[in-house]
Amino acid sequence: MKRMSVVLAAVLCVGVALTVQSAARPTGAIKVPAHLALELKVDNKPVAVPSGREITMLAGTYTPASLTAQATANNKGKPEVWSIKSTGPFGQLQQIEIKEGCTSAIDAGPPFTLKAIVYKAATSPQGKVVPIGFAIVGKAGEVYAANSLRKGQSVTTPPQFQILDEKGTVLTQGAFAYG
């Protein structure tokens, strides 16, 4: 028992003379353009990265949680905010690396490409049903959900389509359905 108390006293005396410094963790920066809203997974939780400016973050590899592209249009003198959201896949942004002493600039969003998705329904008799869909793809290969396109707080109406023959005659037309 005596021996233990002597050891503790020695540690306490030595501890007073020591200077404690925390080890600095390497940092880098990330810059998200003003037209994008980015959430990164940090400790498996989404964390918003401020848009339009460069911010310092710990160096490391991050995965996006979501990416929202935004644009403002002018309608009769009133600004209207349009937005569309991606929750993956994120294409070239699948992993975002922030290197020590460097700035990682995010480049995504418009121009968008619409890609038609056409396939024969497996349960369709004699191939008479052909589902048609589309994907909205940003310049980094990120895929946006069509049903997340918003004008202000409202979800926009589903897009219209026409199917034409080789002469340009409309064979059928309709609207895509969300869901």
Sign of CA dihedral 145, 150, 153, 155: negative
77-124 per-position pLDDT tens digit:
888 999 999 999 999 999 999 999 999 999 999 999 999 888 777 776
Q: What is the percent of the chain with per-residue pLDDT over 90, rounded to a whole number?
A: 52
pLDDT at 11: 37
Do residues 144 and 82 lie in contact, with contact meaning Cβ atoms separated by under 8 Å? no
Domain boundaries, the chain: 24-152
Structure-model confidence comparison of residues 10 and 76, the more confident one = 76
Q: Are strands 27-32 and 103-105 parallel, antiparallel or unpaired?
A: parallel
Judge whether residue 127 has pLDDT over 70: no
Helix or strand or coil: residue 57? strand
Judge whether residue 5 has pLDDT over 50: no
Helix or strand or coil: residue 133? strand
Average pLDDT over residues 7-34: 62
pLDDT at 111: 94
Average pLDDT over residues 35-54: 93
pLDDT at 141: 96
Q: What rounded mean pLDDT belongs to the chain?
A: 83
